Amino acid sequence: MEKINLNNISLSYETSGQGNDVLLLHGFPSNMYMWNEIKKILTETGFRVTIVEQRGYPLSRLDKFNVKSFNIDELSKDIEGLIKKLNLDQNLTIVGHDWGSIVAWAVVSRENIKIKKLVSICGGTEFPTSNIYNNLTYKEKPHYISSFQNVKTSAEIINRNLESFFRSAYRQNNQLGENIDLSLENIFINNLSESCVMNEDEIISLIEHFNDFSLDQTIAWYANIDLNSELSSDWRKVVTTPVHFIFGEIDAAVKLNEKMRERLMSSGANVKITEIPGAGHWLPITHKESVLREIYA
């Protein structure tokens, strides 16, 4: 692991291999090591691969906590600075999962970096504003993204239940059901005993990665969705970079419907959308071959 200082933050990253560049951006609640297996395969097949622990995660936390420090402008500057300083300019493909795909989309839209292709996994372009989530309740409990607007309170709840949080987030069946309860408690807290998409060593390693740190800075990403909508208006456009959106058929957290499909198709001049049958939210873990196929394409 190496450190790079830029945009008032020290980011942790790793680069390995030789060849065309691939940058892998994790989402919530992950870390840069979620890409280990994909990174290994790519380096063995002729790519230079960079993984990065994004702003606010344990290896790249800010010394001073300010919610607005985690808006999409700052997140994009981090990645743009990393790309420039590391000279990741060999036919660069950016691959983003979950929140990583939102950051990647902003980097593509801002056009400060030359990018060959974007592979967006279980994400999209932008989050809806908070008023959309505020209208969603589950047995009188708010949507987890509404809860995340109060960073301190939601972080305290999660920090008290860290093992349950990660085992719930990565459980095998967290995508099942048409009308799944998307409250904080149901998605992230109450499913300690269910099986995970990771093996036991991997889930324990992830829990230990976060064990000495609050999740406040990672949750703060969500608390900026309204500000992000305003900021994105400065660069929101129909992009010309080729973009491939990939979704899991039974991913309830990021559900691909016809309205979303139409919006994504109109977001770029060269857009492809794939929905993987029977797949959930954790495609880089459960469907690595599908992710690799699109990177190679």
Q: What is the pLDDT of residues 189-200, one digit of tens each?
A: 877 667 899 999
Pairwise CA distance, residues 240 & 237, whole Å:
9
Q: Which residue has the tokens 């995340």?
A: 148
Mean pLDDT within 157-168: 94
Return the CATH number at 87: 3.40.50.1820
The total number of structural domains in the chain stands at: 1
Average pLDDT for 129-145: 92
Q: How far is CA 274 from the centre of its chain?
A: 18
pLDDT score recorded for residue 177: 53
Q: What is the pTM of this model?
A: 0.96
Q: Which domain holds residue 60?
A: 2-296
Give the rounded percent of residues in the chain with a pLDDT score beyond 70: 97
Q: Strand, helix or coil at 81?
A: helix
Summarize the confidence of residues 155-178 as an average pLDDT. 83
pLDDT digits (tens, 9 = 90+) for 14-67: 999 999 999 999 999 999 999 999 999 999 999 999 999 999 999 999 998 999
Would strands 9-16 and 47-53 be described as parallel, antiparallel, or unpaired?
antiparallel
**10, 49, 60, 69, 78 from 5: Cα distances, Å:** 4, 19, 10, 16, 9
Q: Show contacts of 73-78: CB within 8 Å, 24+ apart.
A: 73/231, 74/7, 75/103, 75/106, 75/221, 76/103, 76/106, 76/107, 76/110, 77/6, 77/7, 78/6, 78/7, 78/9, 78/11, 78/54
Q: Is the pLDDT of residue 179 over 80?
A: no
Q: Please state, in angstroms and rounded to a whole number, the distance separating the CA atoms of residues 145 and 220.
A: 11
241-262 pLDDT tens trace? 999 999 999 888 898 999 999 9
